[in-house]
Each structure stands twice: as structure tokens, then as C-alpha cells.
């Protein structure tokens, strides 16, 4: 037993990631303990989980030498392949329980799995007919996907690639002196806020099971619901307030969030990203409310209520709703589109281009305008506040920001054009749907459905994965994989040539 334990402990990251995914898939099997009438679904989770853990354990016995990093590999390249491996394997294996239980066809189950792990929330499932164990499974996938597989692995192991994978998965700030303590700090906050959310939901009249599911989904800024009518179906101000609170927590930079937890309120509110988030809320909420009042005849309180919820759920990329967004005026829908693209904080569970990049882009535009109107002799160094302190905005930072946003826009345009072909819908409808997938929002205008073509679902799945991994990671991972494969082939040919 000690030998096996030592072998597993010394296993590589790919082996540990495989075992972790298997363990996560097995977790929903505990739900039938509370609902015995659903015991027949236990096999659907344990079967793929046991096989996956077994494969991961077997990989631990495969001895691999840890080679020094190649000169051509950047830290991002070294971390990108394990990250892509984790998300692709989880997406594929996560579909199996749905299929084994006969809940969804495999392709539709794959879509549901990708949407779950990436915290998107687009769905093909009929919530009203789905057993509780699968409703929990959908929320649990989003809960784990919001935290990230690499963050979970880092809490257990450390190594040379730990920092590289941590950064590659989209986490930007450290909350503690080392990566392992950072990961544990994130999970401690994640757990405490989850329990708080469950307690508050129950206090406002939500059933315990639904409270657990919605707390996981709202905190991970995901959007799957266990209620047929969603959050809006409760028509409960308390439930909506708790959801807004959880979505704001999930969309906040975790480093700034830690400051709030430690009661360093002034320091946390000084962070430029947090200020920008509150500015967006203050600007967009009244604008959408006025649109609902003048174009839809909504009352002041009703308009403010739906507008605030809509603004928070969209920039946090959660995708919950308290009313049908199809009924919103075009002006409000346009503002929704902007919020979906901006997204939440860096290192948070939200998608989009991220508040920090949007803020830096706005600052770059402002500085460029100032430079054109002020004296040429005046030299200023722009800066902004991160959780770590005051940071200068240099040319490289602006360049990286602009390049990322440009690639994001190009990806959105390509995906939009592909949807106009696969579904033959208008450019506006296609742009809204693909942006919703790319920013992991999950709001649909009807394109995503069980009647959608396979090509449409494939385009959206690619968009969801690109969005969750922040686009560049996927491109860098593909490039690194091809280059590593080409190098390996060259080495094999050289050895064969030497032997002959």
C-alpha cells in the first residue's frame, strides 16, 4: 500500500489531472444517498469515474524523466499543454454520465459538459424532467470549472510547472507567498462564500437542494439552474439580492476580494479594476432602466430591479435572468452586448476580455487623446492600482492588452460568420449567440437548442473552450504541441539514421 501511495505521489501532472477528473465525476454519486429513488443513476457516475481514476493511476507507473525546458519554450508554452489536456479530457469524460443514464445523446451531452465545465450555461437539457442527481452534477461541473482544474491540483502538489500552469489557466495574481498557499486561500474563500450563499438562499425561502445548486452556479458565474423558471421564477427580491451578491463575489479579482475579507476596504476599493466594475454598474444600470421605462413602459422600481440584475449577471458572465431578454429594447440589448464582451475581473470565475484589459484600453485611449492636446514638453507616466500596489502602465502592457482584445474580436467575428452559415440566422443574432458562448455568458436568443445543427454546436463548443482558456492559451498550446511533436519526430529519425 505504501508503495502504491508513493508511486501515485510521484506521478506526473497528466496522471494526477486524470485522477482528479475521475474523482470529480464520481462526486454526484453521493446525491442518491439523500434521494434513494435515484439510486439507479449511481452506476452512470461511478463507472466512468473508476475507469478514469484507474487510467490515471496506471499513468503514475509510467516513468518519465523531467527534462529541462527547451530554449524555445516560454512559461506560457510549458503550462498550456497540461491545461488544454485537463479541459479537453474533462469535457469528453463529463458527457458520459448523461449518456449512460439516457438523459442526453452523446453529442448533446458533450455540449452540456463543455458548457458546464467552462461555466457558460448554454444548455440543451430539459430541467423540468431531469433527475436531481443530474441537476446537481450540472451545477457541480460549473463550480469546479470556475475554480479551475489546475488550481485544484496545485493544492495537492507542487513542481516546476505549477506556476506556469497557474498562469496559463488564467490566474494572474498571487494571494500568498507561494502558489500552493495561494490555491488553498482561494478554495477557503470559495468554500466560505458557498456556505454563506446556501444559508442566505434558504433564509429567503429557497429549498435546500436548489440553494446548493444555485449557490454553486452563481458563485462560479455560470448560470445553470435547477428550477424550470430559473432565478426569475422565484419572483423573490431576497433571492435576487443573494444572487447579485454571489455574482459580484465570483466576478471580482480574488486578490482584491481577499482584501475585503481581511477588512482592508480602502485598499481593496483603490484597486482600479474594482473601481471600474462599480463605474460600469453605475453607468449601465440607469441607462438600461430608462430604456425599459420609455420603450417598454416598465415602472421605475421594476425597471431598476431588472436592470441592476441584468447588468451584474451579464458583466459577471453568469447569464441568469429575471425577465426574458428578448423583450428588452434594442438599445438595452446593445448595452448587454458590451457588458458580455467586457466580462469580470482578472483571475475571477468570470469570462470576457476581463475588466482589467477593458480598463487599460480605456486608459490607453484617454492617454493618447491627452498626448495630442497637451504640451509636447510635458512627460507623464500613467499608472493604475493592482492588488499588489501601484503599477506603471508601460508600452508592453498596452501592446499585450490591445493584441489580446484584437484576437478576441477576430475570433468573435469568425465564430459569428460561421453561425450565419450553420443556422442561416441574421448577423446580429449570430453575433449575440457566439459572443455569449465566447464570453461564457450562456444567454441565448434561441439559436442554441436541441434542434440546432451539429455544426452550430461544434462552433459554440469551440467558442466556450476558447473563452474559458482566454483564447491565446489554446493557440499557444496548439503551437507548442505541434512544435514538440515535430522535434520528437526529428529525434526519432536522427536515431534511426544513426543506427542504420
> Which residues are CB-neighbours of 167 under 8 A, at least 6 positions away?
75, 76, 79
Vertex 357: Cα angle to 354 and 360 (nearest 5): 145
Q: Which three cell numbers stand for residue 125?
A: 437539457
pTM for this model (two decimals): 0.90
Nearest to 348 by CA among 213, 148, 492, 95: 148
What's 362-475's CATH class?
A: mainly alpha
Cell numbers that stand for 459 in this block? 462552433
Per-residue pLDDT of the chain (500 residues; tens, 9 = 90+): 455 444 444 457 788 888 889 999 999 999 999 999 999 999 999 999 999 999 988 887 775 555 555 544 666 666 677 788 888 899 999 999 999 999 999 999 999 999 999 999 999 999 999 999 999 999 999 998 887 766 666 666 555 556 666 665 655 665 555 667 777 777 788 889 999 999 999 999 999 999 999 999 999 998 899 998 889 889 999 999 999 999 999 888 877 887 887 788 888 888 888 899 999 999 999 999 999 999 988 899 999 999 999 999 999 999 898 888 888 899 998 999 999 999 988 877 788 899 989 999 998 888 888 877 776 666 677 888 887 778 888 888 889 889 899 999 999 999 999 999 998 888 999 999 999 999 999 898 889 999 999 999 999 999 999 988 888 777 777 777 777 778 778 777 777 766 65
42: Cα within 13 Å, side-chain hemisphere? 12
Among 45, 249, 8, smallest CA distance to 134 is for: 45
Give the integer Cα–Cα distance in Å for 443 and 145: 18
- Break the chain into its structural domains and give their ranges: 1-175, 362-475
Amino acid at each position: 500500500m505504501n508503495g502504491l501511495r508513493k508511486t501515485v505521489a510521484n506521478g506526473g501532472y497528466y496522471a494526477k489531472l486524470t485522477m482528479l477528473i475521475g474523482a470529480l465525476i464520481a462526486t454526484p454519486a453521493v446525491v442518491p444517498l439523500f434521494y434513494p429513488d435515484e439510486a439507479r443513476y449511481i452506476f452512470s457516475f461511478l463507472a466512468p469515474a473508476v475507469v478514469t481514476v484507474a487510467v490515471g493511476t496506471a499513468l503514475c507507473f509510467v516513468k518519465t524523466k523531467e527534462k529541462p525546458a527547451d530554449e524555445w519554450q516560454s512559461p506560457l508554452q510549458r503550462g498550456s499543454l497540461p491545461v488544454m489536456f485537463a479541459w479537453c479530457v474533462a469535457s469528453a469524460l463529463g458527457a458520459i454520465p448523461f449518456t449512460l443514464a439516457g438523459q442526453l445523446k452523446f453529442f448533446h451531452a458533450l455540449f452540456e459538459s463543455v458548457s458546464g465545465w467552462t461555466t457558460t450555461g448554454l444548455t440543451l437539457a430539459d430541467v423540468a424532467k431531469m433527475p436531481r442527481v443530474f441537476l446537481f452534477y450540472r451545477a457541480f461541473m460549473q463550480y469546479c470549472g470556475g475554480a479551475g482544474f489546475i488550481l485544484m491540483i496545485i493544492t495537492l502538489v507542487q513542481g516546476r510547472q505549477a506556476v506556469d500552469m497557474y498562469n496559463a489557466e488564467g490566474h494572474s495574481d498571487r494571494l500568498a507567498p507561494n502558489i500552493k498557499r495561494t490555491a488553498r486561500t482561494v478554495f477557503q474563500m470559495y468554500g466560505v462564500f458557498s456556505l454563506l450563499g446556501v444559508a442566505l438562499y434558504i433564509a429567503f425561502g429557497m429549498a435546500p437542494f436548489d440553494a446548493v445548486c444555485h449557490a454553486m452556479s452563481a458563485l462560479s458565474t455560470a448560470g445553470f439552474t435547477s428550477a424550470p423558471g430559473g432565478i426569475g421564477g422565484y419572483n423573490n427580491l431576497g433571492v435576487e439580492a443573494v444572487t447579485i451578491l454571489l455574482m459580484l463575489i465570483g466576478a471580482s479579482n480574488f486578490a482584491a476580494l481577499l482584501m475585503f475579507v481581511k477588512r482592508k476596504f480602502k485598499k481593496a476599493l483603490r484597486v482600479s479594476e474594482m473601481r471600474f466594475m462599480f463605474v460600469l454598474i453605475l453607468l449601465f444600470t440607469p441607462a438600461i432602466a430608462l430604456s425599459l421605462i420609455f420603450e417598454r413602459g416598465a415602472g421605475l422600481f421594476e425597471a431598476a430591479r431588472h436592470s441592476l440584475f441584468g447588468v451584474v449577471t451579464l458583466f459577471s458572465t453568469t447569464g441568469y435572468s429575471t425577465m426574458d431578454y428578448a423583450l428588452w429594447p434594442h438599445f438595452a440589448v446593445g448595452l448587454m452586448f458590451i457588458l458580455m464582451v467586457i466580462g469580470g475581473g482578472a483571475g475571477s470565475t468570470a469570462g470576457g476580455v476581463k475588466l482589467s484589459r477593458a480598463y487599460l484600453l480605456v486608459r490607453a485611449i484617454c492617454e493618447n487623446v491627452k498626448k495630442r492636446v497637451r504640451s509636447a514638453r510635458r512627460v507623464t507616466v500613467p499608472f493604475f492600482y493592482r492588488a499588489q500596489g501601484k503599477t506603471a502602465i508601460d508600452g508592453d502592457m498596452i501592446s499585450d492588452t490591445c493584441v489580446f482584445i484584437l484576437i478576441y474580436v477576430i475570433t468573435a467575428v469568425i465564430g459569428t460568420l460561421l453561425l450565419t452559415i450553420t443556422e442561416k440566422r441574421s448577423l446580429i443574432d449570430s453575433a449575440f449567440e457566439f459572443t455569449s458562448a465566447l464570453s461564457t455568458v450562456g444567454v441565448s436568443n434561441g439559436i442554441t437548442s436541441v434542434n440546432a445543427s451539429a455544426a452550430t454546436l461544434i462552433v459554440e463548443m469551440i467558442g466556450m473552450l476558447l473563452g474559458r482558456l482566454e483564447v491565446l492559451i489554446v493557440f499557444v498550446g496548439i503551437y507548442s504541441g505541434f512544435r514538440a511533436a515535430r522535434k520528437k519526430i526529428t529525434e526519432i529519425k536522427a536515431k534511426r539514421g544513426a543506427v542504420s
